[in-house]
Every structure is written in structure tokens, then in C-alpha cells.
Structure 1
Amino acid sequence: MGFKLENTNIDALVKPDDLKIKKRTSILERELVFFGKSFSNKKKEDFYTELSVLLKAGITLKESLKLIEEGQKKEQQKSLFKDLGDSLLSGNSFSDAIKSRSEFSEYEYYSLKIGEESGTLTIITNELGLFFSKKNEQQRSLVNALTYPAIILITAVLVVIFMLRLVVPMFQDIFEQNNVDLPWITKFIVAISDFIKDYGWWMVLIIISVLLLRKVLFGSDWFKRKIDYILIKIPYLGNFLKAVYLAQFTRAISLLTASKVPVLNSIELAGKMISFYPLQDALEVVKSKILQGESLSNSLKGNKVFSKKMISMVKVAEETNQTEFMFERLNQQYSIEVQQKSKLLSTLLEPMIILVVGICVGVILVAMYLPMFKLGSVLG
């Protein structure tokens, strides 16, 4: 679904001073909502979908916001929509009303402003609802893929810690009482056991502190950049994350190119919705190349974030003037890839975790039983 903006001056609409990237939110808060947000992507999906339905039914924007406000259960949500309604009553446009709210991104602001200028606000809100729907679907796929392996991993770690903290010291006492000469592997396991005994609670406190201070840590750009670049280098997981964010990117570009927004502005606005540093940095390079006169397909070359298949399809789209269609197809392909990879990720992680834990437990048992043979000869 597209909408036209032939009569809209995009250059005047998207001013350079307005294109400042806001501070990004935590990687866990922005893509995987483990810790919750006041206005999460799921709430945005419901909001834009409901708003689109009400506007399509002929209800005015002010009345629509009032109805949505009345349907909220939490006071925080009621206050948000009440403030938006009051801003409209004060004479502000809808896009200006959300611009001052931290709950909304610049991507949403410019999309809604384009809709107001072109008289296609109903279509825009529907497209935004679909955008967040796809985004939430990808998040659910990732969460579903990681939940069960995470439970297994936590359980396995607790089992290994139990053995190191309680079982190994019992064998250690027996060996010390009988002056048994320990092999190197047993000494290594005993050293780990002593470390956990001496510093175990400190490690627990550090983990709790990190969880409590996560907003401070992820509020730092350098820390988030490091985390993002570490994640993308992890085998399989890195490719999976690239597919997730490229699916969001292609969806955003498809919506904006259908609106006749210039390529440079489309990339700039889409970048504000993708809070993943490897892709953001890549888009900055793409923008600089486009400003130098390069085509979009040539600008995508030379960056590992973009696949050769994507570059080839973009080149075909430029030659045939079917950019909107091609990005829609790319979005479908990446969405399917995310679903397939999430299922495979879940399938692979479980046996891998079990295998690693089995090896750890086996090493501990072997390390403890090797000196028992020497102990038998000493007692004999």
C-alpha cells in the first residue's frame, strides 16, 4: 500500500536541523522488551492500528484520541493520550504534538507529518501499525527462540556451580587427609572451586549491580556500540541479528519510497528507527556516498552488513524504477529468513548447551575420580 506526495515539498519538510538523532534506548529495551517501557512497540502497534480504524470510520483525530484515551487502563497511558489531545486543542498538528514526547521517534514524527501534509494520515497510521506489527513479530520470534535454551543454560550453570561449590570440596578434603598427589586437571578444578568459594558472592553482587545499573550502562553510546559489534561477530547469531534489522530497514524504506520521499531522506529517516550501530554506521556511509553522486546500489557496496543479493536487487530496482516493489520483496524475504533462523537457533542452542554442560560435568567427575586410583593404592 502506498501514498503519493507529489504536492509535498520534502526538502522543506525535512529540515537538516531537525534530523538530529535522539539518544538511543537500551538494546534490551528497544528490540527485546525484557524490562518494559512506558510506551512499548506492542502498545504502538495497537495505538496506530486503532487510530487508523477510527480515522477510516470518519471519526476526527481529536475524537479518536479521546476514545483511545478512554480505553486505557493505566493512568500513565491515559495521561499520554490526554496530553496529545490537549496539544491538538491548543492548535498544534498531530506530528508536532508527538514531537515533544520522548515516547515517539523522529521516524514516526516525520511519517505522520508527511501524512498530514499529503492528506493520507489514515494510510500512514495503518502503515505504522503494520511496521510495528512486523517488528513485534520478529521480537517474539527471537524471544521464543531464546527462552527455552536460556532456561536450560541457567539450570545447567546452577548444576555446575553446585558441583564445584559442594561436591568438589568433599573430594578435596579426602585427598588432603590422605596426602594424595593430585594430577593437573584435578588441581585446576579445585582452583576453580576455591575461587567460587572465596569470590562467589562477589560475583553474584556484580551481576545484580549490572542488572540494576543497566539503564546507566546502556545509556552510554560507547558501551552499546561495543555490545552491538560484539553481537554481530558471534557466528550465526550475528547473521540472525542482521536479518532482523534489515527486515525492519527494508520495511521502512518501502513505506517511505512509496510516499515519494527522496532516497537520501528515506535512508536518514529509516536510520532513526533502527537502533543497531553496525547498520546505523553503514547507513551513514551510504548517505555520504549518495551525497557524492553515487547510486544507492553502488553506495551499498563495500559494507558487510548488506548482502550481495540485496545490492543486486536494489540495482535492478533502480534500472526498472521499481524501488518500492523491490524493497517490499526484500522485506518479505528477510522476514521469512528471520522466522527460519529463529527456529533453527532454538533447535541448535538446546543440544549445544546440553553438550557443553555434559563436557563440564564429565571433566569435573574425571578430575575427582583420577586421584581415587592413587588413593586406593595408598590405602592398599
Structure 2
Amino acid sequence: MAFQLENISKPVSLKKEPTDHLSFLKQEITFFNNTFSNKIKEDFYTEISVLLKAGVSLKDSLDLIENSQKKKQNKELLKKISQDIVSGQSLSDALKTHKQFTDYEFHSIKIGEETGTLAKVSEQLGNFFARKNEQRRNLISALTYPFIILSTAVLVVVFMLQYVVPMFQDIFKQQGVELPNITKFIIRVSDFLGSYGFVIFILLIGILVLQPFLNKKKGFKKIKDKFILKLPFIGNFARLVYLSQFTQAVSLLTASKVPVVNSIQLVKQMINFYPLQHALETVEQHILKGESLSKSLSQHKLFDDKMIALVKVAEETNQTEYIFDRLNMQYNTQVQQLSKMLSTIMEPFIILIVGVLVGVILIAMYLPMFKLSSVMG
């Protein structure tokens, strides 16, 4: 989604930029025709900010952005918002009527309208989604190659258990060789895969297909997010990603003069990660009881000592916006470093695990062969 400033006076004659052959690498991957994804929101708010600063009216800005859209759903959505503004509604009220926009966005835009800083707030929202999309791409980049290696390794192990082990099993039965315990275990695993392997495969495919719908269920989301948080390396990486989003959101809201309690309430709705949402619910309750933000955060292990110490300094010096902005920069740097480390560490780690599994299978199969050769000799 892009516009050209030289065409601002003539929205209908909007020209499209040349297509970059590698542009698909920069696109956010979405499923089930997701309307107004985070990638589109990043461009939407950034372009609104640029156009408003250039002196273009809000209505003309929305028309320009609408004309640059490729998806029919997005065009229709922006057209409805534009019609609502023409009918007398504010941009915030127009966004509130559409489920694609959260209360966080509604309140941020509303504050921008009331304070005359809509262009600045839109720019901050664009930066928020830009950072969020960047972190998502870092996560995908860090896990893609290890995932391919792991998938290939699983197929190799399954092939050995399904086809190689049964061949050895037939030989052992014919010769009446007494099998070691490790061989018996591998044969049991092979039999289990032979009986239930197809069912397990169907279940995995079903979970992948139904995941967008299951994510809307609070129970499934709770179990999945808690499981992710407990995974080695990945859990800490996910925690830092969401803490980075949390600090950036609080910094944005603080800059808009939103009270702390309201900021916590809005951030809960913006960041879809159950452990953080649950922690913020209790933080909100403690703040309402009169406790400070730093003390409320200290009661949850999700928030590290560095954040708690700096938040306490922010409360004492009244520099909340600056401190949370610094925290956001630090967490974002850590996310980038960890994403590179994950892709570097996980590859040899997975190869090591696969090597051990294959080695155990081979040893389990060849031990009875050695015993058989000694008996025949």
C-alpha cells in the first residue's frame, strides 16, 4: 500500500509504484483472507500521518489510501470509514464501529483528535505496528530454517521406524533371537506408529488448519501461550517480544497523556498474549488499590528487575514516557540479537538430537544382529 505525494490534488489519478520482484518477501503472511492485517495498519497509519502533515484533509487522505488498496475488503472498509466521516463522525468513532480496530487504536486516535495531534499519534501508531511486524518477521526468520531441518529429521526417523525397523523385526522373529530391552522399545514405538501414525498425522493437520479459529478460544490460547513461554530459548524470546510491544504501547499512551490505569487497560486489548494480559489484569487491580506501578509489576516474574527498577525511577522523576521509550529500545535490541542467536543455536542442536535418535535406532537394530552372528558362528 503506497501513495505518491505529487498526486495529492488528484486522488482519482493515483499512480501505482513499479512492482518490486522481491516485494513478496516483505509482505506479511496472512491466512483466511485476513482483512486489515498489522502490515496494512502500519502503512495506513504512517500514510495518514504523512498526508495530514502535508496539509491534505482527512477525507482526501482516506480516499488516496483507499485507491491504493488491492484487496476489495480493504477498499470497502476504508470507503465506509470515509462515508462515516462525511456524515459527521470523527475518525475515532468511525474506527470504533469496525472490529478490525481495537480499543487501543480508538482511544489513541481520539486523544489525537482532542489534542490536535492526530498526525503525531498516527505516526506513533504506524511505528508501533512497524515494530510489531518487524519482531514477527524476526521470529519467523529465526525459526524457519530450524523448522525445515526438524521436519526433515522427523520424516527420516519416521521412515526408519515405519520401514527399516519392521524389516529387522522379521529377521529376528525368523531366527528366534532374544532381543535386548532397547530393541524391544524401538519395536514397540514402530508398532505404535504403524497403528496410530495416520491418526496422529490427521490430528496435526487438523490443529494447523483450525488454529486461527482455536486462537479465538480463551482456553486454547491460554494453554498455547503458557506452553510457548516454558520452551527453552523460544520462551524467553517470546517474552522479550511482548515486553517490547508493552513498553512501546505504554510510551505512546503516556505521550498522549493517558493515565497509567487506562494505559494498562488499553494495552491488555492490544497485545494478544495471555500471560501478559493476565499479569496486566492483576497489575491494574493493584494500582486501583493504591499501589505504585513498579510495585505492581514486581509481583509478576514476567517483568524483569531492570524494568521494575527503571519504572520506579520514572515514577520518582516523572519521566515515564522517556523511561518506557528507552526500555522499548533495549528490548527491541535484545529481540534482534536473540533472533540471530536462535537461528544459529537451534540448527546444530536439532542436528545433534536427530543424530542421537538415528544412532539409538541403529544400535537397537544391530545389537541382535551381532548376537545372531556370534550364535551362527
Give the TM-score normalised by structure 1: 0.89
> Could you tell me which of 228, 242, 260 is aligned with 2:239?
242
Matches of 1:143 and 1:216, distance apart in 2: 21
Matches of 1:276 and 1:131, distance apart in 2: 16
Question: By how many angstroms is 1:168 displaced?
Answer: 0.9
> Is 1:378 paired with 2:372?
no
Check 1:34–1:367 CA distance in 2 against 1; reply closer, same or farther (3 A cut).
Answer: farther
* Moved segments of 4+, more than 6 Å: none
CA contact (8 A) 2:108 2:256 kept: no
Matches of 2:108 and 2:359, distance apart in 1: 57
CA contact (8 A) 1:32 1:139 kept: no
Counterpart in 2 of 1:132? 129
C-alpha distance after superposition, 1:321-359 (max 9, x if no partner): 111111110000000011111111111111110010000
Counterpart in 2 of 1:340? 337
> Could you tell me which of 100, 107, 110 is aligned with 2:107?
110
1:174-193 correspondence to structure 2 within 5 Å: 174-193=171-190
> Could you tell me which of 327, 345, 366 is aligned with 1:369?
366
In structure 1, the gaps of 5 or more residues are: 1-30
C-alpha distance after superposition, 1:126-166 (max 9, x if no partner): 11000001111111111110000000000000010111111
Matches of 1:216 and 1:96, distance apart in 2: 28
The amino acid that maps onto 1:335 is: N
Counterpart in 1 of 2:53? 56
Matches of 1:258 and 1:356, distance apart in 2: 49
Secondary structure (helix, strand or coil) at the match of 1:329 reads helix
Secondary structure (helix, strand or coil) at the match of 1:92 reads coil
> Which of the pair has the greater relative contact order for Cα pairs under 8 Å at 6+ separation?
1
Counterpart in 1 of 2:261? 264
CA contact (8 A) 2:112 2:256 kept: no
Question: By how many angstroms is 1:236 displaced?
Answer: 2.5
Question: By how many angstroms is 1:248 displaced?
Answer: 0.5
Check 1:118–1:86 CA distance in 2 against 1; reply closer, same or farther (3 A cut).
Answer: same
> Is 1:314 paired with 2:311?
yes
The amino acid that maps onto 2:283 is: V
Matches of 1:377 and 1:255, distance apart in 2: 76
RMSD: 1.5
Question: By how many angstroms is 1:377 displaced?
Answer: 2.7
1:349-360 correspondence to structure 2 within 5 Å: 349-360=346-357
The amino acid that maps onto 1:378 is: V
Question: By how many angstroms is 1:301 displaced?
Answer: 1.5
1:43-192 correspondence to structure 2 within 5 Å: 43-192=40-189
Matches of 2:243 and 2:211, distance apart in 1: 26
Counterpart in 2 of 1:228? 225
Question: By how many angstroms is 1:118 displaced?
Answer: 1.1
Check 1:174–1:359 CA distance in 2 against 1; reply closer, same or farther (3 A cut).
Answer: same
> Is 1:275 paired with 2:272?
yes
The amino acid that maps onto 1:145 is: A
C-alpha distance after superposition, 1:208-248 (max 9, x if no partner): 22222223322210111111112212233222111111100
C-alpha distance after superposition, 1:152-192 (max 9, x if no partner): 00000001011111111111111111111111111111111
In structure 2, the gaps of 5 or more residues are: 1-27
The amino acid that maps onto 2:86 is: L
The amino acid that maps onto 2:213 is: V
Matches of 2:62 and 2:291, distance apart in 1: 44
Question: By how many angstroms is 1:34 displaced?
Answer: 6.8
Give the aligned length.
Answer: 350
CA contact (8 A) 2:92 2:106 kept: yes
Matches of 2:295 and 2:202, distance apart in 1: 50
Matches of 1:330 and 1:33, distance apart in 2: 30
Greater shift after overlay, 36-45 or 122-131?
36-45
Question: By how many angstroms is 1:36 displaced?
Answer: 6.3
Question: By how many angstroms is 1:35 displaced?
Answer: 6.7
% identical equivalent positions: 60
The amino acid that maps onto 1:157 is: V
Counterpart in 1 of 2:286? 289
Matches of 2:161 and 2:316, distance apart in 1: 64
CA contact (8 A) 1:54 1:64 kept: yes
Matches of 1:32 and 1:250, distance apart in 2: 25
Secondary structure (helix, strand or coil) at the match of 1:213 reads helix
CA contact (8 A) 1:32 1:143 kept: no
Matches of 1:278 and 1:208, distance apart in 2: 26
Question: By how many angstroms is 1:379 displaced?
Answer: 2.8
